[in-house]
Amino acid sequence: MITFAKFFKVNLTVFAGLALSVQAVEAPKHIDVKQLSKKVEDVVVPLPNEVFGALNKLGGVNWREYVRNDKGSNFTERPRIALLLGTVIADGFIAVQAEDAPTVKEIGQRVLGLAKGIGVGNSITPHAKAITEAADKRNWENVRRELDRTQNSVQSAMNEVHDEKLSQLVSLGGWLRGTQVLTTVVNKRYSDEGAELLHQPDLLGYFQTRLAAMPEFNMKLLQDIQAALVEVRPLIDVADGRIPAPAVKRINEITARLDAAIITKSQ
C-alpha cells in the first residue's frame, strides 16, 4: 500500500522535475507549408456546433426555424444509417441552439435507435440517457457535451470493428446538414462574414477522397453526394475566402437536395 507521505514525496519529485524542464523554445514566425505537407495528418472534421457557434456570433439566427424532429425513414443499409445518424446528431445540435428540450430528448432516442440499427447501440446508451437528463434540466452545455460524446462513441465503436468508412459517413452526414443550415441562414441575410464560414476547401477535399475510397458502397445516394461535392468545391475554394451570394444560394440548393435524399427512402 502506498502511504500518503510516500505519495506526497513522489508528487514533489514530479513537481521538481516539471519545474526544471520549463524551457520555452521560441516558435519560428514562418514555416514552409509545402515542406510540411508530406507529414500532415488528415483534416479534422469540426462538429456542427463549431460553425453554429461562429454563425450565432453574427447575430439574428432564429434557431427554432431549423429544428427538425420528425422520426424520418428507417433504413437497413448500413451506409445510409451512418449518413442519417450524422444528420440526426447535427439536428440535435440545432435543437440545443434553439433550447428545445422536447426535441433534444426525441433526437437522443432517435440516435439510440439508429446506433442500434448499425450495431453500436451499446456504446451510446449511457449518452442517450445523459442527453435526456440534461435536456430535462435545460443544461445545454451538458447536452452539447453528450452529443459530442455520442458521436465520438459511435465512431470509436465503428473504428474498433474496422468500420472506419461508416464512421466517415457519420461525419459527412453531419457536415452536410450543418452546411445546409449554414447556407439557409446566410442566404436569408447575406453577409461576407457569414458566407466566409463556408470556406472549407480542405474539409471538402477530405470528404471527396474518403468517398472515392468507398467503391464497395455502390449506392446512388453516395454517387450523388460525390457529384455534388465536385460542384460545390469551386464555389467555396476561393483564395480570399469571399463567397458571393449566388454561390451560397447554389450550395444551399445542393445541400438541401442531398439532405432530403438522406432522410427519405426514395433513393
Partner 1 sequence: MLSPHRLFNRASFVAALAFLLVSPARASVDDAQSFALQAAEPYVKQGFQIREDYWGGDLGAGEKKAVRQQLFKGNEYWFWMGSEIEKATVSVHIYDSEGKLVEQPDSWQKGHFAAAHVTPTGTGSYFVIVTIEQSPEDRTHWALVYGFR
The footprint of partner 1 (CB under 8 A) covers 2, 7, 10-12, 14-15, 17-19, 21-25, 27-33, 36, 39-47, 49-51, 53-55, 57-58, 141, 144-145, 148-149, 151-152, 193, 196-203, 241
What values do phi and psi take at 118, rounded to 5?
Answer: -105, 0
Taking the complex as a whole, the smallest distance from the CB of residue 13 to partner 1 amounts, in Å, to 8
Cβ atoms < 10 Å from Cβ of 29: 5
The amino acid that residue 2 corresponds to is I
Q: Nearer to partner 1 by C-beta: 58 or 98?
A: 58
Taking the complex as a whole, the smallest distance from the CB of residue 148 to partner 1 amounts, in Å, to 5
Q: Nearer to partner 1 by C-beta: 55 or 107?
A: 55
Q: Nearer to partner 1 by C-beta: 224 or 237?
A: 237
The amino acid that residue 251 corresponds to is I
Taking the complex as a whole, the smallest distance from the CB of residue 111 to partner 1 amounts, in Å, to 15
Beta-carbon contacts of residue 156 (< 8 Å; ≥ 6 apart): 123
Taking the complex as a whole, the smallest distance from the CB of residue 193 to partner 1 amounts, in Å, to 7
**Cell reading at 192:** 461576407
H/E stretch holding 212 reads helix 201-212
CA separation, residue 22 to residues 9, 12, 16, 198 (Å): 20, 16, 10, 40
CA separation, residue 24 to residues 14, 16, 20, 49, 128 (Å): 19, 17, 12, 34, 43
Taking the complex as a whole, the smallest distance from the CB of residue 75 to partner 1 amounts, in Å, to 26
Q: Nearer to partner 1 by C-beta: 95 or 263?
A: 95
**Cell reading at 80:** 445510409
Q: Nearer to partner 1 by C-beta: 80 or 144?
A: 144
